[in-house]
Chain A
């Protein structure tokens, strides 16, 4: 079946540091890939997505590139801010769509210190 693996953390960085959160997946074909962000006490918000190989998703300074050859979708940001502190989830939906929902990683807790 499908699965997503990501570092769980917590990951603690200083403000303005470079961020990488690794995400690798197992799935057949070409799934769609997502990063979601969850701020304390809130639901998940879509941060960015990529739907085919070599696509780059970007939003709010975050980027991730769909790498089919390494089955990866690592999240990066060049200069993090305290306001980026949150839990980040990598997820996939299986190739061809379908009703059976997204598969999520366990989440990475990111803490940015001023």
Chain B
């Protein structure tokens, strides 16, 4: 299994509070991603990173920010959590070389905003 650790695995928070989710990898892969998974929507990309301090928005980035200060860590922050951000969040990593374009996923963080 790819070395990807997400923390926390479960979190309940109140509307309006800030929340930070962490993704840590030990594979030294260049690209890192945050997805959210919701019933009926599959996985949707929130933000991604293509290097230290290099990030870009995905299709559902509103209300989220990210930071990557080290190759191994990619943080997802909800500045002011809303109930619509209740979801399961997955971190993924890729190291695109030749035909190796697959992504590897963490175990997920279940976030509930009440």
Contact = CB atoms under 8 A, between A and B. Distances in A.
Interface of A: 8, 32, 34, 36, 42-46, 49, 51-52, 89, 93, 97-102, 104-107
Contacts of A106: 40-42
Contacts, number: 63
A52 to B, nearest CB: 8
Contacts of A104: 42-44
Nearest to A108: B42
A43 B105 contact: yes
B81 interface: no
* Chain A interface, DSSP helix/strand/loop, else mixed: loop
Nearest to A42: B107
A98 B103 CA distance: 12
B70 interface: no
B30 to A, nearest CB: 8
Contact of A101 (B30, B40, B45): B45
Interface string B11-39: 00000000000000000001101010000
